[in-house]
Each structure stands twice: as structure tokens, then as C-alpha cells.
Amino acid sequence: MNAPQSLPLEFPVFDNSFAALPEAFYTRLQPQSLPAPYVVGISSEVAELLGLPPALLESPEFAEIFAGNRQLPGAEPLAAVYSGHQFGVWAGQLGDGRAHLLGGLRNDLGHWEIQLKGAGKTPYSRGADGRAVLRSSIREFLCSEAMAGLGVPTTRALCIIGADYPVRREAIETAAVVTRVAPGFVRFGSFEHWSSRRKPLELQQLADYVIDTFRPECRVAPNPYDALLRDVSRRTGELMAHWMAVGFMHGVMNTDNMSILGLTLDYGPFGFMEAFDAGHICNHSDHQGRYTYRNQPHVGQWNLYRLADAFLPLIKSPQQARAAVDDTYGDAFAMAFERLMLAKLGLRNGLPDDEEFIGNTFAFLQQHRPDFTLFFRTLSKLPAVKIESTAGPATIETTAGPRVNPENQAKTDAPLRDQFIDPAACDAWLASWRARQAQTPWSDAERQSAMLAANPKYVLRNWLAEKAIRLANKKDFSEVHRLLTCLRKPYDEQPEFEEYAALPPDWARGLEVSCSS
Ligand code: AMP
Ligand code: MG
């Protein structure tokens, strides 16, 4: 390991708040070096968040630093311990099996912890190799940044560093390290760890750390721990609503993958909804279908109950701990979900029957299975009030007087109707949507631009990630860079990336993702 002072460029000063906790919370250790590392991709946005000097991004040291080969001045690397419930079953101690927290920085934009994922074994590796493969690292890197672009709370990713170092999974792959960045990486399972070991002091120290570092407003509450649990519960409800609204499926919502800050955390076998199916299982290893799209809000709540159990020594009364979740989670989810769905549907003001309309819309999507992203994006561009004639007379004479020419309606609606095997079903739903629009009318131009800002054109479809991975495995990282650029602005029309908005091509039909990473 080179001496820290030999780094030729200035790096922001570390402020290692997690490392200030007692040693019981982690093991201090250095990342394992990775031979001949190279840069696969860098998120310049995250580099800016951290205040990294632009020259560092260009320097040969960059790959060495973020492969874990060279220590940053002020870093105090450590691997944290936690436990958790996996697939509904208590799994005991887990921990950062392949993550090294380098430390934290504080700047005008916030507090940022920097973590290397895949930089070698730790005491929590449980017999595994401590490495991550390029494939899963590309997925985590791109999806973190895509979710940030979508406006979903998430951990971020600064870069992927690759190496030709072989890693064995189902086949031999190559190693990579993703640098993750977030205000904090504390998990529900970090609390479950201490409560399962009957260590109320450590439990309280952890809660105090989270409150003092991230949620100082909880400190003034009659019971700060109750206030913290309510805060986590509310944020988790909002997070679930965001996931549902963009069609994101996490795939492994184990309590050790749930962020205490309400961030999307640990990208593994995630997926974005394509042909709509609320029962879709995106993780090939999830044999019971525990983490389907439709189950996510329920699992979020189940996980919060496990957190509430862990908080018992801090809150004392089981009723109060449970109430902290029950009083907050359902409302936070329902309010955020309704707000996001009204925006997706282009409804400016809510009405009492909207919950039913949203429910009917999901039932319609479930029955006819259009592509979730494409459906809402196409809908955004349809007229809500009047049918604009493109050819032929706008109205035709009928015995009952002039009527909208149905041929023109079909033409205007063709981009959406064409997504359905049964276009009449699409017509019927559109009629109900237009009837609802008529109850709270606004100018079509305003509504369309609002809907385009709520319905992304680009999400990280599995086939897009797969295409980038296949090229990257041949050392061509151009598709990683192009996707990163595109997914940073998912709500913008980007004609140069038109192909990324397309449905999965034939070769991608059988793609499967699993926990192997
Ligand atoms: P995950 O399902 O990815 O959230 O992982 C569950 C636990 O296994 C976490 O504690 C990880 O740190 C650990 N883990 C997963 N893969 C590896 C690996 N290749 N080496 C060491 N630990 C791992
Ligand atoms: Mg995990």
C-alpha cells in the first residue's frame, strides 16, 4: 500500500463518522489489491457531488484508488457487521462480505460515505470470495445512476473499475469494483444484529449515531427512537411508491438490503417492468415469488415490523413499536403512490374516486399486458380533451347529429392502440381516462409536458444492461458510457438514444437474472 501523502492530487478531507462508532460495529481492514485495474465507467455527476478534482478523474491513480490498491489520505477502511432476514427467514449474522467503507466526506451538498464493493474478503464473507463480477457491477453502477435520474431515492455509484482477474461464478468471469456513494449504508439488519444478540447498549449507540448524523430532528421528540422508527417507516413507504410508479422490482428485499435512510440499496437481480404483470418475479433465485412487483409494498411493511421488533428495547412497548409503523407506513405509501400515479395519468387535481380509477387502470394493464414504460410514455402524448383530426373530417354526420369521426380517433390513438392485441380494450380504457380528464380539465400542452416529466422514456431494461455487459466483456465500454448518458435524463426525448426506448429484441426473450453476482 502506497503512503497516502504520495497522492499527487488534492482529495476532499474525510470525516469518518461511522468509523467513530465503537469497534464492535465493524472490522477495520484494507481492501485487497486488484492487479492491473482499468476504468470501465465514471459518473461525473457523483464525482461532482463528492467534489473530486476533475484532474483526478483523468489521472492514472484513479483506477488504482478505486480498485482499492491505493489508500486515500484520511480513509479508515472498514467492513460493517449486520444481520438480517433473508426470504422471510432469520439468517443470523451477515455483514459487509465484500464491501469496504473507506470513510465519509462532508461538503455543501451533504455527507457522503464512500464504499468499495468487490474489493476482497472480509471477516463477514462467509466462505465467499469477496469479489464482484463485471456483469453485476455494470448493473449496479448503471441502475444506481438510472434511479437517481428517475428521481427515486437511491445510493449512487461513482465508478466501476475492472480487471482481468478471474472470478468463478457459474462460469469464470472477471472481477470489478463498484464505488458506491450514499449518506450512509446502515441497514434494517444493522439494528436486528444488536437486538438479536440482546445488546441494548450497542443498539442505542447505533440509533444515536443515525439520529445525530442524519435525523437530528428526531432528537427533540419525546422518544427519539420512536421518532426515528416513524421516519424510517414513512420514507420506506415513499420509496415503495416510487418503485411501483417506475415499475422497479428490487428482487431481494431482505432486511439486510433495506436502507435505514429509505434509499434503494444493493442492486442485484432487479428488473424494470416490461409487459405488465404484477406477479412478475425478476429474480430467478426467488422460487416462491416473495419479491414480485405486487408484493413489494407488503414486504416493505413486513421488513419494517422486523425493524420495529429490533427497536423494542428502545421503545419498550410492543404496541408502541408496532404503532410507529402502522401510523405511518400505509399513509406514506398511499399518499406518495396516489400522487405519483395522478402525475403519470396527467391528472392535475385528485378526486375522491381516483383510487378506484387507478385500481381499474392496473386491472386493465394486468389483463392486456402492454409494456409499462411505453404505455405511459405514449399516453402522455395523446390528446385528452378533443380528438385532433389528422385526415378526413373531424366529425361525421350521424342520425343523432355530428359525432367525432371514429377513424380519426383511431388514427390519433394508434400509437397506443398498436400496443394492444385487443385495441377495443384500449379504446374503452382511453374513453374512461378522457372522461376522468374532463372532470379536471387543463390545457393539453401543459398536461402533456407534465406527463412527459412523470413518465420516463428510458429505463434500464434487462436487454440494455445485457448488451452493455456483452460488449464490456470484450473490453468495449462504449455502451456503458452511452447508457449512463442516456439514463441520466430518462424523461427527455433523446433522438440519439431512440433505440434504448425499444421493447426487448428477440435475442433477449430468455434473459434471466439471479442472485449470482
Ligand atoms: P446479497 O444477497 O447480495 O445482499 O448478499 C448477502 C450477503 O452475502 C451480504 O452480507 C454480502 O456481503 C454477502 N456476499 C454476497 N456475495 C459475496 C461474495 N462474493 N463474497 C463475500 N460476501 C458476499
Ligand atoms: Mg446485500
Cα 274 to ligand 1 centre (Å): 28
> Catalytic site residue 331?
no
pLDDT (mean) for 381-393:
70
Residue from 373, 390, 376 nearest 433 by CA: 376
- Tell me the pLDDT tens digit for each residue of 127-175: 999 999 999 999 999 999 999 999 999 999 999 999 999 999 999 999 9
Closest ligand to Cα 517? 1
Residue 392: pLDDT above 70?
Answer: no
pTM: 0.95
Closest ligand to Cα 83? 1
Cα 316 to ligand 2 centre (Å): 29
- Whole-number Å distance between alpha carbons of 301 and 281: 19
pLDDT (mean) for 500-515:
92
| Three-state DSSP string of 353-371 | CHHHHHHHHHHHHHHHCCE
Q: Radius of gyration over alpha carbons of the chain, in Å?
A: 25
Residue 3: pLDDT above 50?
Answer: no
pLDDT (mean) for 40-63:
95
Q: How confident is the model at residue 398 (pLDDT cuts 50, 70, 90)?
A: confident
Confidence at residue 263, expressed as pLDDT on a 0 to 100 scale: 98
- Whole-number Å distance between alpha carbons of 410 and 396: 14
Helix (H) or strand (E) holding 221: none
Find the farthest-apart pair of alpha carbons in the chain and give their distance in angstroms, rounded: 89
Q: How confident is the model at residue 316 (pLDDT cuts 50, 70, 90)?
A: confident
Helix (H) or strand (E) holding 449: helix 444-452
Confidence at residue 410, expressed as pLDDT on a 0 to 100 scale: 74
Cα 338 to ligand 2 centre (Å): 30
Cα 86 to ligand 2 centre (Å): 10
Which residue has 435475442 as its cell numbers? Answer: 507
Closest atom, ligand 1, to C-alpha of 132: 19
Among residues 96, 226, 231, 256, the one annotated as catalytic is 256
Residue 18: pLDDT above 60?
Answer: yes
Closest ligand to Cα 132? 1
User: Residue 383 corresponds to which amino acid?
Assistant: P
Residue 484: pLDDT above 80?
Answer: yes
Q: Which protein residues touch ligand 1 with a CB less than 6 Å away?
A: 94-98, 124-125, 128-131, 252, 256-257, 266, 268, 515
Mutation probe of ligand 1 site: the residue of 94, 136, 139, 187 with most atoms within 8 A of C-beta = 94
Asked whether the beta carbons of 329 and 308 are under 8 A apart, the reply is: no
Confidence at residue 397, expressed as pLDDT on a 0 to 100 scale: 76
Burial of 273 (0-12, 13-18, 19+ CB in 10 A): buried
Beta strands in 183-309 (DSSP E): 248-249, 271-272
Asked whether the beta carbons of 270 and 138 are under 8 A apart, the reply is: no
Give 116's strand partners: 100, 179
Q: Which residue's alpha carbon is at the smallest distance from atom 13 of ligand 1?
A: 97
Grid coordinates of 382 = 395523446
Q: Which residue's alpha carbon is at the smallest distance from atom 7 of ligand 1?
A: 94
Residue from 264, 265, 252, 245 nearest 338 by CA: 245
